[in-house]
Structure 1
Amino acid sequence: MENSFRISNDIASAETLTSNFYTDDDVFESSKETIFARSWQLITHTKNLKKHNQFPFTFLDGFMNEPLVLTQQNDEINCFSNVCTHRAHLVCLESCDSSILRCRYHGRTFELDGTMKAMPGFENVKNFPSEKDNLDSISTLIWKDFIFVSLNNKVDINSVLADADHRLQGYEFDKLVFDKTQSIEYIIDSHWALYC
């Protein structure tokens, strides 16, 4: 049976999702690509790039498990795949402050803009490096110093952020300070759509 779910903006014609949306493994796996890979996710605050210009993280850790890395150079923040284009080894293993990204497997190096710079033993190879050797770029957006990324930028987040701007007029975002003692993390054993 093919799964088809209909969403209507008109509440009068809306329908309740069938139970297989919550219980079918194939539907769950499909939702990763059709919903979450296209979504924008809050990753961190720009303050976390003040001490270190490289910030590795996992996109939706435990769910999508996509290794990515944020870089900062001259106040420009970018996001890239954290997987080396040579042998799929992780490039950046921990937050650090360095002028290059360096894969520890074979020594391939990348500029902080994701461009491949060099690889030991390949100095005289023609047409190397090429564009395909660069790290894949990931869509990045900064709002109020919060960094969002999207693996497959199909959703326009600007209208959501414009609404947030309107609702939060006058809120002093620049005065926010993270206090770990005031932070609690809850693990909820439920389907993501039930929690939303």
Structure 2
Amino acid sequence: MTHDMTHYTIDPDVTTAGTLDASFYRDEAAYALARERIFARSWQWIGDTADVAEPGSLSPRELVAGGLDEPLLLARDGAGVLRCLSNVCTHRGNLLVPAPCRSEQIRCGYHSRRFDLQGRMLFMPEFQQAKNFPSPNDNLPEVPLALFHDQAFAAVQPVAPLAAFLGDIEARLQGLPWDRLQPDPSRSRDYSFDAHWALYVENYLEGLHIPFLHAGLMETLDFGQYSYELHRYANLQLALAKDGEPAFDLPHGSPDQGRRIAAYYYWVFPNLMLNFYPWGLSVNLVQPLGPMRTRVLFRSYVLDASQLGRGAGGDLHRVEMEDEAVVLTVQRGVRSRFYRGGRYSPTREQGVHHFHRLIAEFMGSAPPACAAP
């Protein structure tokens, strides 16, 4: 099967468009291509920066664990500048920093090669006779890094700045006290299941299934007012609360002032969900582990603990189990020889259509050649 531009074409008119061909979800070559054309060219959330707040802080991260599997290192130097470096020694490929720590240098435990916190190689034993050494290739490569408040994003070859991917989140949520969002590890969970990562994303991006799968969630939402907004690399599902259910106390000047917002469901291409509830923020990161294996990380940041357990974000585990159950059955279905693709609901599946158009855009265009390190 070829994977050329014509294969990945989605009609821009949602009223006439057909969905992605089913081969995208079951073909190993398509999965491998997506790693390079989608994940290597998009911004990936690599966690908050609380553990690298002080100069001399080091914290290992991984770019698309299970997918790209790229070891990274957040390093804040003595001047307070935060960088994202490769966490791989330029001598023999040993991983450098295994756990968060404080240090004035980065030292490889294998042969004691040392780097400063800007990634420059400083010392290497037994290399006195090596010619043309050291060279720029002996320094640690610096990886593109961008911050959204205290959340860190990294990319291999991003096609656009992070701001282009985040849509209007900052403007839409003006007045949100970002600095008061506190991580709550007790509410964080990892989920793994046997289905393609894109099927999970598609399920998230449409409200069409909510009345049929999520009885508890439906009790909290004014589903008739559920709406969708599309941006370049992101989209928003805006959920309004029924009377008596928790809603945001929006500040004066908010674009949604006067509306009872139960949740802002933001999706950022290709695999990040930023779900804002009156109690705080649930970050959901979808990690592809294989053509039919996915892990989803849930990370919670609490703003108002009194709102926990109530409203649209009151029982995230129950909703997740309901979603996973149907995604697993869809995974079985898309492998049928009789299924090739479907159509979109113009009123409820604009987000899925948007996602598929972005997949077609990224899969149908090769990235620029990498510069030599």
Q: TM-score, structure 1 length as denominator?
A: 0.91
Rg larger in structure: 2
Q: Do 2:51 and 2:100's aligned partners in 1 also have CA atoms closer than 8 Å?
A: no
Could you tell me which of 40, 48, 57 is aligned with 2:61? 57
Could you tell me which of 16, 20, 23 is aligned with 1:17? 20
Q: CA deviation at 1:41?
A: 1.0
State the partner residue of 1:121. Answer: 126
User: In structure 2, what is the Cα distance between the partners aligned to 1:121 and 1:166?
Assistant: 55
Q: Which amino acid counterpart does residue 29 of structure 1 have in structure 2?
A: A
Q: CA deviation at 1:140?
A: 0.1
Q: CA deviation at 1:85?
A: 0.9
* Structure 1: segments with no counterpart, 5+ residues: none
Does residue 51 of structure 2 align to residue 43 of structure 1? no
Q: Which amino acid counterpart does residue 42 of structure 1 have in structure 2?
A: W
User: In structure 2, what is the Cα distance between the partners aligned to 1:39 and 1:173?
Assistant: 24
Does residue 30 of structure 2 align to residue 27 of structure 1? yes
User: In structure 2, what is the Cα distance between the partners aligned to 1:167 and 1:95?
Assistant: 34
Could you tell me which of 110, 115, 118 is aligned with 2:115? 110
| Residues 79-118 of structure 1 mapped to structure 2, 5 A cutoff | 79-118=84-123
State the partner residue of 2:192. Answer: 187
Q: Which amino acid counterpart does residue 2 of structure 2 have in structure 1?
A: E
> Aligned Cα RMSD in Å?
1.9
Q: Do 1:118 and 1:129's aligned partners in 2 also have CA atoms closer than 8 Å?
A: no
Cα deviation digits, residues 61-104 of structure 1 (max 9, x gap):
12221111110112211111111111111111221100111111
User: In structure 2, what is the Cα distance between the partners aligned to 1:174 and 1:8?
Assistant: 42
Q: CA deviation at 1:155?
A: 3.3
User: In structure 1, what is the Cα distance between the partners aligned to 2:165 and 2:63?
Assistant: 21
- Greater RCO between the two (CA within 8 Å, min separation 6)? 2
Q: CA deviation at 1:189?
A: 2.8
Q: CA deviation at 1:180?
A: 1.6
Q: CA deviation at 1:8?
A: 4.6
Q: Where does structure 1 differ by over 6 angstroms across 4 or more consecutive aligned residues?
A: none
Q: Do 2:116 and 2:122's aligned partners in 1 also have CA atoms closer than 8 Å?
A: yes
Q: CA deviation at 1:159?
A: 2.3
Identical amino acids, percent of aligned pairs: 38
State the partner residue of 1:75. Answer: 80
Q: Do 1:79 and 1:138's aligned partners in 2 also have CA atoms closer than 8 Å?
A: yes
* Structure 2: segments with no counterpart, 5+ residues: 202-373
Q: Do 1:22 and 1:191's aligned partners in 2 also have CA atoms closer than 8 Å?
A: yes
More divergent stretch after superposition (88-97 vs 12-21): 12-21
Pairs aligned (count) = 196
Task: Give the secondary-structure state (helix, strand or coil) at the position aligned to 1:136.
Answer: coil
User: In structure 2, what is the Cα distance between the partners aligned to 1:61 and 1:130?
Assistant: 30
Could you tell me which of 59, 66, 82 is aligned with 2:70? 66
User: In structure 2, what is the Cα distance between the partners aligned to 1:94 and 1:182?
Assistant: 22
Q: Do 2:46 and 2:62's aligned partners in 1 also have CA atoms closer than 8 Å?
A: no
More divergent stretch after superposition (36-45 vs 4-13): 4-13
State the partner residue of 1:153. Answer: 158
User: In structure 1, what is the Cα distance between the partners aligned to 2:149 and 2:52?
Assistant: 15
1:182–1:119 CA distance, 2 compared to 1 (3 A): same
Q: CA deviation at 1:18?
A: 0.7
User: In structure 2, what is the Cα distance between the partners aligned to 1:14 and 1:137?
Assistant: 41
Q: CA deviation at 1:123?
A: 4.8
Q: CA deviation at 1:184?
A: 2.9
